[in-house]
Structure 1
Amino acid sequence: MTEEESGRLLRGGRVVARLFLVWVLVAVVLHVLDGMLADFALPEWWQPTVFALLYGVLSAVVWPLVLRVALPVAVFTLGIGSFLLLGAGLLALSFVVPGVVVANLRTAVLVVVAVSAVGALVSSVLAIDEDELFFRRAARRFRRAGGGDESEPPGVLLLQIDGLGYDTVRRAVRDGDLPTMAGWLVEGSHVVTDWHCDWSSQTGASVCGLLHGSNEDILGFRWYEKDRDHVMACAHPADAAEIERRHSDGRGLLAGGGAARSGLFTGDADHTSMTMSAVPLLTPARRGRSRNAAGYYVYFANPVNLVRTVGAAVVDVLREVTASVRQRRAGVRPRVKRGGVYPFARAATTVITRDLVVSSIIGDMLAGRPVVYADFLGYDEVAHHTGIERYDALAVVRAIDQQIGRLHRAARLAPRRYRLVVLSDHGVTQGWAFADRFGESVEALVGRLCGGASGGGEGREGREKAGPANGWQLDAALAEAGGPIGRALRVRAGTSDRHRTPEGGPGAVARVAPGVVVVVSGHVAMVSFTEHGGRVGLETVEAEFPELLPALVDHPGVGFVLVRSGDGPVVLGRDGVLWLESGEVRGEDPLAGYGEHAAALIRRTDGFLHCPDLLINSRYSAVTDDASPFEVHVGSHGGLGGGQSRGFLVYPADLPAPGEIVGAEALHRVVRGWLTYLGHPEPVGREAAAR
């Protein structure tokens, strides 16, 4: 007997042993339920065994056939419909086995849930990989059907861990929080490197750049467009669709049969699910893409999956509540409030959507799709609320790594060969939220300096933090003394005889002061003066709002401000000025400490069509490695400074080394080069196809 035959025999023996164990345990559970439920009865000794066998046939053979028709019910009810349908099937079985009593549908559903829990427990305790069984059966069917072309290029899985920075990855590999990827790196199958994000270090700019090769004019996760009086939001379906329309040329990374799972943009994929720019209700026929249900089918075909997911979600909710209470009692700083619906929202991203994404990817591999992109959002969500390397966040990292290991094992059994590339869209920088630290939000600060109504600027935890006035005292002391740039700006503004124009009328977007809009995106705040068309220059800002720029550059939470002047774009800091076009610096370089690429990235952003009149970046301290985000987060991103600017890339070692990667568009070119290297054809694109 060959080693391969011995392996098949051993695996077959494990499958038989598992089925027998589940059968016995289900029979035991049915016997226990007989004593617990008044409306459920199996009076004879042999009935639990026979009933368990018939239910096994129902769930393994009949149920998958039913689900092919009833899948929408299961999907739109997040699996609850599955239990109702299975309960109806179990109720029908009670009429087949003589003497068995299942009085109503409610009782039948309770029995189904209990039996499914047994299956989930057995799979977890014995570490049995359901995907292995699924893929082995599918691969055999695929081979019998004559599928599987060895000459076709290997498929590629692009697995994104949202927000996980390069430095955090290195420490997680060292400390055992990423065992799957650590194993790859140790054995030499993969290599890890970093890549530098754009100034807008957030998912919208990074993913659009990665998947479509362009992130031009994406200024933040949300930004204001003066010509339309509209705030664009990457997480809004209509805006995401518009962003993709502006950047897609039909040649995205996923064009030609690829799949996009749980992200913002499609990358021109033919198959999408949980993708913001392709929400079916808003864009059902925009591109004629299929919303393939194979991944959902894989997930819901086995009720054990749902029980396992719901159980894990409940555990995650309890874990979040416990961690939040512990953090508050210990007086941990920085922190934010984590109550309300957040524990449930967290479980939705860390468990439920994660499991759906994994099942979708398994369906994609089974279908042999050439390139699959998926975004695991859980770490970024938790890092926003708890911190970038605190226990809660690292626990999510470990869970995602476990799922990546699961996909890696499944890829070995897929009909098509697959390469796994793991990456992040940006990193995260930790800090005490601007509003909490200084007693007012940046919107309230700008509004007050521009003549808006005062008040209402208190941070979410402003009343809880010790000595909130101390922040105001520091702010007032620094503003009163002022840095050299602030003093110079005050002198310039004081010599001007120009005055503020009359108040502007209200628009669709709320104003922090008459004619002033402020939009924040993590560590960046964008200020637009709506009474003026186009870009408002430094001289106009000084004349109409003489205290605004001096107060901003002197504020301890502001790192630098970008504004246009008669001499081109200027970066203002507390102790110096940088003219971007000439590179001339007067005083201290305001971009010192923000990285060698900062000037080039800011210069590029200054050229965007919808670049706001002022762009404010939070102050980063290299000593404490923190910055105060303008959103109420602990870990945040969206600008320059610290770990937010460095994503990671783990790729197969036999692919060409990428060299230094600066910007998401450069990352796109690297991945496109890898696809070409592996033999994937270049997509034609819409313009070429129309010729």
Structure 2
Amino acid sequence: MTGEDRGRLLRGGRLIARLILVWVLVAVALHLLDLGLEDFAMSAWWQPTVFAVLYGVLIAVVWPLILRVALPVAVFTLGLGSFVLLGAGLIAISFAVPGVMIANLRTAMVVVLVVSAVGAVVSSMLALDEDELFFRRAARRLRRGEGRDVEGPPGVLLLQIDGLGHDTVRRAVRDGDLPTLARWLAEGSHVLTDWHCDWSSQTGASVCGLLHGSNDDILGFRWYEKDRDHVMACANPADAAEIERRHSDGRGLLAGGGAARGGLFTGDATHASLTMSAVPLLTPASPRRAGNRSAEGYYAYFANPANLVRTIGAALVDVLREIVAAARQRRAGVHPRVRRGGFYPFARAGTTVIARDLVVSAIIGDMLAGRPVVYADFLGYDEVAHHTGIERFDALAVIRSIDQQIGRLHRAAQLAPRRYELVVLSDHGVTQGWAFTDRFGESIETLVGRLCGAPSKPDGRTKAKPVNNWQFGAAMASASGAGPIARALRARAARLESGPERHRAPGGEPGAVARVAPGVVVVVSGHVAMVSFTEHPGRVELETIEREFPDLLPALVDHPGVGFVLVRTARGPMVLSRDGARRLDDDTVSGVDPLACYGPHAADLIRRTDGFAHCPDLVINSRYSPATDDASPFEPHVGSHGGLGGGQSRGFLLYPAGLPDPGEIVGAEALHHVVRGWLTGLGHLEPERTDREVSEQAGHR
């Protein structure tokens, strides 16, 4: 007998022992339920044993067949519909066993939940991974001829850890919070490097650039388009679909049979699930998504109710963990911090546990199907970092859980019908700081509105002000106009006052977008705030802003929470700060360079943004302090991103050592070309654009 035969027998023996143990424990659980539930009865000693066998047949044989039809119900109810269907199946079994009584569907669902929990607990106690068993069964089917090895180049998994910056990765590898990635680096199988994000260091710009090779005119996670009087939001399905429509040429990284799981855009994938841009397109009338099944890849997950029980159990634990962590922060007086109550603990569990498990299950299905390129986004760390901070204990716990899932995917890849290369990356980093509203007593929207003449009113997003807030107000009043740039702007405004009569376009009726003052829209995206003056078409120049709102720019550049402001002048784009100005057409600097602490690529990235079709009239970046490595985001976050300054601008890229060195990577479009080059080098052919797609894209732009 060979070693392989002995291993097969040993694994088979373990599986039989497990099945017997589960059978016995389920029978015991049924007996206890008989004693504890009024609407569930088994009158004879042998009935729990027989009923457990029939339930096992239901799960192993009948349920997978039912799921082929009922899978959408399971997916769209996050698995809760599975318990309803299994409860109905349990009632049917009760009619087949004489003397068994289940009075109603509610009782049947309780029985299903308890029995599934028993299976989940047994698997955990015995350290048995249901996925591993599934992988092995799939591999055996392939060896028996039910499937075959996929011909062609090795597949590629692009696994994105949302928001995890390069510096945090390095420390997490050092400190043992990323053991899987640390092992790969220690073994020399992978290489870690960084890449520099665009000015808009957020998921929308980064992922669209990575997957589609273009992120032109994506100004933030949200931005205002003056010609449409519409705020675009990457998290809105219709807007995400429109963004992809503008940028896709049909040749995205995932075209030609790839899969997109859990992100914003499809990358022209044939298979997509939990993907924002695909939500409104999953209809027969959508030719580009014809045949797409949003629930594919979840079959293995919902085929075993124990998976759902484990996920729900882990989600409840995460809810409790969040409540405890928030209370711990409050007791310790940790700052900065934000409110973490209400529905947030459940929303957190949705990203850190439920969405994560669904995405992992879908990726496993993709690998077993041999799909060429798979992209997935793990959102949990970014969500927690927003609320708790970038390297606090509960954020690091999320990193460890994601690393564990990456390890499982690496093991699953060994049993796939083709070889897979694993690339792990992030879309941006995160910079920590005290939220602008909490630190300065009013939001950036309220500040701009007040400076533009809006009547003063309480800011609904502002917490109770600190007792000593009057000191800050006094300091602001005494410092008003103290900076050299503010003094120059005020002098220019004074000259305009003494010249011809100031003119403002007549006020119009506000559209669907809220105005912070008549004719003024402010949209925030992390560390960036965008101001548009809706009564003027196109870009409004500095001279017009000075004439209509003489207090606005001087107060902004002098504000301690504002790092710099981009504005268009008659001579071209200019960046202003408290102590200096920089013209972007020739990089002439007056005073102190306002971009000195924002990295060597800041000027080029801002220049590119200034050329976007929907670039707002003013773009405000929060002030970054290199000494303390912090900045105050314009959204109520602890860890945030979306602009320049600190870790938010540096994502990480961990790639197989056999792939070419990418060199310096600046911008998500450059990252796309790096990954495209790797795919080409591995033997993946780049899809050709059809005539229809060429004409469609030309029309969109």
Using the size of structure 2 for normalisation, the TM-score is 0.95
- How far residue 388 of structure 1 moved from its aligned partner, in angstroms, is 0.8
Alpha-carbon distance between aligned partners in 2 of 1:261 and 1:504, rounded to the nearest angstrom: 46
Deviations 1:73-121 (A, max 9, x none): 2222222221122122222222222333323322221111101001111
Check whether the contact 1:439–1:459 (CA below 8 A) recurs between aligned residues: no
Asked if residue 595 in structure 1 is aligned to residue 596 in structure 2, the reply is no
Deviations 1:344-374 (A, max 9, x none): 1111111111111111111111211111111
For structure 2, the 5+ residue unaligned runs are 696-701
Alpha-carbon distance between aligned partners in 2 of 1:458 and 1:189, rounded to the nearest angstrom: 52
Report the equivalent of 1:350: 352
Report the equivalent of 2:132: 132
Residue in structure 2 matching 1:499, options 492, 502, 519: 502
Report the equivalent of 2:400: 398
Counterpart of 1:42, as a letter, is M
Alpha-carbon distance between aligned partners in 2 of 1:192 and 1:75, rounded to the nearest angstrom: 36
Report the equivalent of 2:540: 536
Deviations 1:205-254 (A, max 9, x none): 00000000000000000111111111111111111111111100001000
1:312-351 counterparts in 2 under 5 A? Answer: 312-351=314-353
Check whether the contact 1:206–1:215 (CA below 8 A) recurs between aligned residues: yes
Alpha-carbon distance between aligned partners in 1 of 2:146 and 2:48, rounded to the nearest angstrom: 42
Check whether the contact 1:207–1:425 (CA below 8 A) recurs between aligned residues: yes
SS in structure 2 of the partner of residue 553 of structure 1 = helix
Check whether the contact 1:478–1:556 (CA below 8 A) recurs between aligned residues: no
Residue in structure 2 matching 1:683, options 670, 681, 687: 687
Counterpart of 1:87, as a letter, is G
Moved over 6 A (4+): 688-691
Report the equivalent of 1:521: 525
Report the equivalent of 2:223: 223
Report the equivalent of 1:260: 260
Alpha-carbon distance between aligned partners in 2 of 1:600 and 1:57, rounded to the nearest angstrom: 64
Residue in structure 2 matching 1:426, options 420, 425, 428: 428
SS in structure 1 of the partner of residue 195 of structure 2 = strand
- How far residue 564 of structure 1 moved from its aligned partner, in angstroms, is 1.0
Report the equivalent of 2:289: 288
Counterpart of 1:201, as a letter, is S
- How far residue 381 of structure 1 moved from its aligned partner, in angstroms, is 0.9
Alpha-carbon distance between aligned partners in 1 of 2:551 and 2:294, rounded to the nearest angstrom: 56
> Alignment RMSD, CA only?
1.7
For structure 1, the 5+ residue unaligned runs are none
Alpha-carbon distance between aligned partners in 1 of 2:474 and 2:506, rounded to the nearest angstrom: 32
Distance 1:688 1:81, change over 3 A: closer
Check whether the contact 1:499–1:543 (CA below 8 A) recurs between aligned residues: yes
Alpha-carbon distance between aligned partners in 2 of 1:625 and 1:257, rounded to the nearest angstrom: 43
Deviations 1:367-399 (A, max 9, x none): 111111111111111111111111111111111
Residue in structure 2 matching 1:657, options 654, 657, 661: 661
Check whether the contact 2:643–2:649 (CA below 8 A) recurs between aligned residues: yes
Check whether the contact 1:445–1:457 (CA below 8 A) recurs between aligned residues: no
SS in structure 2 of the partner of residue 94 of structure 1 = helix
Of the structure 1 ranges 321-330 and 482-491, higher mean CA displacement relative to structure 2 is found in: 321-330
Distance 1:471 1:20, change over 3 A: farther
Deviations 1:111-167 (A, max 9, x none): 111010011111222221111211211122223336434641111111111111111
1:76-225 counterparts in 2 under 5 A? Answer: 76-145=76-145, 147-149=147-149, 151-225=151-225
Report the equivalent of 2:47: 47
Report the equivalent of 2:478: 477
Check whether the contact 1:258–1:371 (CA below 8 A) recurs between aligned residues: yes
Check whether the contact 2:442–2:462 (CA below 8 A) recurs between aligned residues: no
Alpha-carbon distance between aligned partners in 2 of 1:531 and 1:7, rounded to the nearest angstrom: 76
Counterpart of 2:254, as a letter, is L
- How far residue 26 of structure 1 moved from its aligned partner, in angstroms, is 1.1
Alpha-carbon distance between aligned partners in 2 of 1:513 and 1:51, rounded to the nearest angstrom: 69
Alpha-carbon distance between aligned partners in 1 of 2:341 and 2:183, rounded to the nearest angstrom: 37
- How far residue 689 of structure 1 moved from its aligned partner, in angstroms, is 7.7
Alpha-carbon distance between aligned partners in 1 of 2:152 and 2:124, rounded to the nearest angstrom: 36
Check whether the contact 2:389–2:639 (CA below 8 A) recurs between aligned residues: yes
Distance 1:514 1:375, change over 3 A: same
SS in structure 1 of the partner of residue 95 of structure 2 = coil
Report the equivalent of 2:565: 561
Distance 1:282 1:466, change over 3 A: farther
Alpha-carbon distance between aligned partners in 2 of 1:215 and 1:272, rounded to the nearest angstrom: 20
1:634-645 counterparts in 2 under 5 A? Answer: 634-645=638-649
Of the structure 1 ranges 312-321 and 623-632, higher mean CA displacement relative to structure 2 is found in: 312-321
Report the equivalent of 1:586: 590
Distance 1:196 1:69, change over 3 A: same
Distance 1:518 1:414, change over 3 A: same
Deviations 1:592-619 (A, max 9, x none): 1100110110011111111111110000
Check whether the contact 1:435–1:458 (CA below 8 A) recurs between aligned residues: no
Question: Percent identical across equivalent pairs?
Answer: 77
Check whether the contact 2:172–2:178 (CA below 8 A) recurs between aligned residues: yes
Of the structure 1 ranges 625-634 and 317-326, higher mean CA displacement relative to structure 2 is found in: 317-326
Report the equivalent of 1:67: 67
Check whether the contact 2:238–2:280 (CA below 8 A) recurs between aligned residues: no
Alpha-carbon distance between aligned partners in 1 of 2:218 and 2:113, rounded to the nearest angstrom: 47
Report the equivalent of 2:626: 622
Alpha-carbon distance between aligned partners in 1 of 2:154 and 2:146, rounded to the nearest angstrom: 18
Q: How many residues align?
A: 689
Report the equivalent of 1:467: 468
Of the structure 1 ranges 69-78 and 445-454, higher mean CA displacement relative to structure 2 is found in: 69-78
Alpha-carbon distance between aligned partners in 1 of 2:210 and 2:467, rounded to the nearest angstrom: 43
Check whether the contact 1:427–1:647 (CA below 8 A) recurs between aligned residues: yes
Of the structure 1 ranges 623-632 and 90-99, higher mean CA displacement relative to structure 2 is found in: 90-99
Check whether the contact 1:259–1:269 (CA below 8 A) recurs between aligned residues: yes
Deviations 1:511-563 (A, max 9, x none): 11111111110000111111111111111111111111111110000000011
Counterpart of 1:585, as a letter, is V
Using the size of structure 1 for normalisation, the TM-score is 0.97
Distance 1:283 1:597, change over 3 A: farther
- How far residue 35 of structure 1 moved from its aligned partner, in angstroms, is 1.4
Check whether the contact 1:193–1:649 (CA below 8 A) recurs between aligned residues: yes
Counterpart of 2:490, as a letter, is R
- How far residue 197 of structure 1 moved from its aligned partner, in angstroms, is 0.2
Counterpart of 2:304, as a letter, is N
Of the structure 1 ranges 47-56 and 61-70, higher mean CA displacement relative to structure 2 is found in: 47-56
Alpha-carbon distance between aligned partners in 1 of 2:149 and 2:45, rounded to the nearest angstrom: 53
SS in structure 2 of the partner of residue 453 of structure 1 = coil
- How far residue 415 of structure 1 moved from its aligned partner, in angstroms, is 1.6
Alpha-carbon distance between aligned partners in 1 of 2:75 and 2:342, rounded to the nearest angstrom: 26
Check whether the contact 2:241–2:276 (CA below 8 A) recurs between aligned residues: yes
Alpha-carbon distance between aligned partners in 2 of 1:632 and 1:473, rounded to the nearest angstrom: 24
- How far residue 591 of structure 1 moved from its aligned partner, in angstroms, is 0.4
Counterpart of 1:314, as a letter, is L
Deviations 1:647-688 (A, max 9, x none): 111111111111111000000001101111111111112338
Check whether the contact 1:503–1:514 (CA below 8 A) recurs between aligned residues: no
Report the equivalent of 1:25: 25
Deviations 1:299-357 (A, max 9, x none): 11110011111111111111111211221222211111111111111111111111111
SS in structure 1 of the partner of residue 43 of structure 2 = coil
Distance 1:676 1:383, change over 3 A: same
Residue in structure 2 matching 1:297, options 277, 296, 299: 299
